[in-house]
Amino acid sequence: MTRTSRFFLFVLAAAAAGGGYYWWTVYRPAQMAQAPSATSPGGGGGQRGGGGRRGGFPGDPPPSVVVQAPRVTDVPVHIDAVGTVLPLRNVTVRPQVDGRLLAVTFREGQTVKAGDVLARIDPTVYQAQYDQTVAKLAQDEAILANARLDLARYTRLATDNSGSRQQADTQRALVAQYEAQVRLDQAAVDNAKAVLSYTTIVSPIDGRTGIRMIDEGNLVQASSTSGLVVVAQVNPIAVTFAVPQQQLRTVVAALARGRPKTEIVGAESGRVQDTGTLEVVDNQIDQTTGTVKLKAIFGNDAAHLWPGQYVAIRLEVDILRGVTVVPGEAVQRGPNGTFVYVMKDEASVGVRPVQVSREAEGVAVVSGVTPEDRVVTIGFARLADGAAVRVAQGQGGAPAQGAPAAPGDAPAARAAPTPGNPTAQDGPAAPGEPQQGRRGRRAENGGPPRGTPATP
């Protein structure tokens, strides 16, 4: 055996000897000192709730619990998703003619209506072109009027055999030619008028203007792609979001019954910021992500939503009518499935297996309990089947209303001392309250009552 091996065995032997010494001199006397209290007349009658560590140590008071009655109600079925806010319509306003920008008549961020003037381009050249086409139209109309008078004269002469019939036919064809020319001139006038109107830039939709992208005095061109400003319709506004393809059938069925209610929920507050309706289900599934895109419309009257914003979406696809619900924290899970603790009487609880069909938003839809039952919602740390408990003050048999929870147990509600358990007080005594309960407990645990001078 090498020196290293001998050293290792020596260390193991020393550790084992130290552990045995600690167990014999410290741990074993402490266990023996506590053992008599389990069977003493004032010790609480032994272990509760089937014994063991979960049932608590001998002499401890029953655990305090908060109870609530199940209720029958309608539960909406929601699909949660993250959506992106988009303007219902989004238009980049671009010039349609070249020229110098004379004036910009809108403010950045201004709400405009369709037809409101946004800017003006120098119309001098386009006004002159329009005037030319109008003059040309007037000239050709005068020529047409004279040709029609000649046609009337030649027609009368041909009828009386005083003139050539060929001359009359030639004049009739000339009138038709002038009429076509007049129509051509009218089209040129309309075109010049339209081009002239392009020098006044108006908003094509109702919406809100963005940041101006060009200032007055600059030369603008119809071929420019940057535009003058972007007008976005934000009232109403759209939100697009995606759901897994497994939920597509449920969404389509809900849409067939009507436009499902869609809510936007605040990420921090959890409150509903706006309510809208589902409008569109995309006609194909994204093969990359396995999701289908949906689009909802919101009124956005309070202007909470802004294009490009990420929001939490809650889509209502169904309503479960007349189901039994309990608080989500009441449902416990064990090796045999889900269960709840139900008050068997005023002082003990039992285990009741339940089937959970849906659990969301702080409530669980269950079967296996009735509104006449009382289920434990807070105080599971020391519970077991048949364990003795005490209902927290202010509970009784009524449902809990916002009872605060302490880590691992219910809010402090001290049990009054009983003849079989004089040490049932838990926590500091109220002013004027006798201290014999805690003193008795200290005496049972092998120590002197508080306030008694220690003897050397």
Q: How many domains does the chain have?
A: 3
Residue 7's pLDDT is what? Answer: 72
Residue at 86: amino acid letter? L
Residue 10's pLDDT is what? Answer: 77
Residue at 363: amino acid letter? V
Per-residue pLDDT tens, the chain, 456 aa: give them.
Answer: 576 777 777 778 888 887 777 766 766 655 554 444 333 333 333 333 344 445 556 667 888 999 999 999 999 999 999 999 999 999 999 999 999 999 999 999 999 999 999 999 999 999 999 999 999 999 999 999 999 998 998 888 888 877 788 888 898 999 999 999 999 999 999 999 999 999 999 999 999 999 999 999 999 999 888 899 999 999 999 999 999 999 999 999 999 999 999 999 987 777 899 999 999 999 999 999 999 999 999 999 988 899 999 999 999 999 999 999 999 999 999 888 999 999 988 889 999 999 998 888 789 999 999 999 999 999 888 888 888 998 886 554 444 333 333 333 433 333 334 333 433 334 333 333 333 334 443 433 444 444 443 333
Q: How far apart are CA 271 and CA 314, in angstroms?
A: 11
Residue 26's pLDDT is what? Answer: 60
Q: Indicate whether 22 belongs to any domain.
A: no
Q: What are the beta bridge partners of residue 91?
A: 231
Q: How far apart are CA 281 and CA 248, in angstroms?
A: 9
Q: How far apart are CA 254 and CA 318, in angstroms?
A: 7
**Burial class, 455, CB count within 10 angstroms (exposed 0-12 / middle 13-18 / buried 19+):** exposed
Helices (H) and strands (E) in the chain, counts: 6, 20
Among 180, 198, 216, the domain-final residue is 198
Q: Indicate whether 24 belongs to any domain.
A: no
Residue 262's CATH number? 2.40.30.170
Residue 20's pLDDT is what? Answer: 78
Residue 361's pLDDT is what? Answer: 79
Residue at 98: amino acid letter? D
Q: Indicate whether 356 belongs to any domain.
A: yes
**Domain shared by 386 and 421, yes or no:** yes
Among 267, 295, 321, the domain-final residue is 321
Q: Indicate whether 117 belongs to any domain.
A: no
The gap from C-alpha 360 to its chain's centroid, in whole angstroms, comes to: 14
Residue 146's CATH number? 1.10.287
Q: How far apart are CA 155 and CA 170, in angstroms?
A: 11
Q: Indicate whether 213 belongs to any domain.
A: no
Domain span at residue 264 reads 77-87+229-321
If you write DSSP's letter for every residue of 202-224 in order, what string do you get?
A: E-SSSEEE---SS-TTSEE-TT-
Q: How far apart are CA 274 and CA 301, in angstroms?
A: 9
CA-derived radius of gyration, the chain = 45
Residue 394's pLDDT is what? Answer: 53
